[in-house]
Amino acid sequence: MKYPSLRSIPLNRAVSSLATSFILLAGVGCNTTPPSSPELTGVGESPYPDPARFEQDIAAFEAADAPSMPPTDAILFIGSSSITMWNAQLPEDMAPLTVIPRGFGGSTMQDLIHYADRVVFPYQPKAIVVYEGDNDVAFGISPERFFERLQVFVQMVDERLPDTEIYFLSIKPSGSRWSLWPEMERANDLIRNYTQGRDDLHYIDVASPLLNEAGEPESSYFIEDNLHLSPEGYAVWTEVVKGRLLETYAE
C-alpha cells in the first residue's frame, strides 16, 4: 500500500432535538454560507479557524471534476488529514465499492459545513463517510460545540440529499494528542448515541482497533509524527470500514 506522505497534506431527515432546532432558527444551519467561524464559539472556547484557508484545495477538487464529474450514487469519503492521506489509496482499498475521496487535511466540522455546497452536494452520493473532530478538539473546541456542528451538517444533508446515509468514523486516539483523548472520547460518545436514534446515521468505531492491550495507541499503526496512520493503520481501517459498508452496499 502506498499513501501520500505527510508533506502532501494541505494546511476537513429532520433533526429532532430542540437544541439543534434553535441553532437552525438562529441561521447557522441553513443552506447558505454559515456565519463567520470566529462567532461559532462557546464561553471560554477558541474560535474555529477561517475556512478560507482551504479555498485552493477546494478549487483543486473542482478543477479535477471539471472535465468529467465522478459518478453519482457513489460513496463520498470526506474529512481531515486521516482521509487526505488515504485519498490516493481509497479506491483500491474500498474496491469493489465506488468511492470519491475528498479529504482536505487540517479541516474541522465547520470547514465541512462551509464547503458542503462544493464538495458534498454536487456528487449526489448514496452515502457519505465523514472523519472530523480530531482537529476540532485540538483547536480547543468542546465536544459539545463540535457535536452541534455535526448536527448542522446532518440537517444540511437531510434537506439536500434526503436519501443519503451518513457514516461517522470515530475520532481516533493518537500518541501526539493522547492528552486530548478524554475529550475525544466524549465527542465519540455524543456521535454514537446520536446515530442510534436514526436508521440513516451510522457510527463506525475505528478508534478501538488502534489501541494495544494496555489501552494506548499501538505505535505500529502510526507514522513518525504519532498522529497520522501508517500503512498498517490504514489496513486496520480498511478492514473495519469496508466491512461495514459492504453490509449495505455490496456490488
- What pLDDT is attached to residue 250? 79
Query: Over the chain, what is the mean pLDDT?
Result: 86
Grid cell 481516533 in the structure block, residue: 172
- What pLDDT is attached to residue 197? 87
**Inside any domain, residue 8:** no
**Inside any domain, residue 114:** yes
The cell numbers describing 148, all together, are: 452541534
Give dist(CA 11, CA 106) in Å, integer: 6
Q: Do the Cβ atoms of 11 and 110 come closer than 8 Å?
A: no
- What pLDDT is attached to residue 45? 72
38 compared with 115, residue with greater pLDDT: 115
pLDDT tens, residue by residue, 17-75: 333 333 333 333 333 333 333 345 555 678 999 999 999 999 999 999 999 999 999 99
Domain count, the chain: 1
Give dist(CA 232, CA 230) in Å, integer: 5
**Inside any domain, residue 48:** yes
**Inside any domain, residue 113:** yes
pLDDT tens, residue by residue, 203-250: 999 999 999 999 999 999 999 999 999 999 999 999 999 999 999 997
pLDDT tens, residue by residue, 83-109: 999 999 999 999 999 999 999 999 999
Examine the pLDDT at 10 and tell me if it is beyond 70.
no
pLDDT tens, residue by residue, 125-153: 999 999 999 999 999 999 999 999 999 99
- 167-176 average pLDDT score: 98
Residue 21 CA to chain centroid, in angstroms? Answer: 22
**Inside any domain, residue 4:** no
- What pLDDT is attached to residue 39? 45
Pairing of strands 165-169, 99-103: unpaired
Give dist(CA 221, CA 123) in Å, integer: 32
Examine the pLDDT at 4 and tell me if it is beyond 80.
no
**Inside any domain, residue 7:** no
- What pLDDT is attached to residue 5? 42
- What pLDDT is attached to residue 178? 98
Span between the terminal Cα atoms of the chain, in Å: 23
- What pLDDT is attached to residue 44? 62
Q: Which domain holds residue 60?
A: 13-249
- What pLDDT is attached to residue 42? 56
**Inside any domain, residue 1:** no
**Inside any domain, residue 172:** yes
- What pLDDT is attached to residue 41? 54
The CATH number of residue 62's host domain is 3.40.50.1110
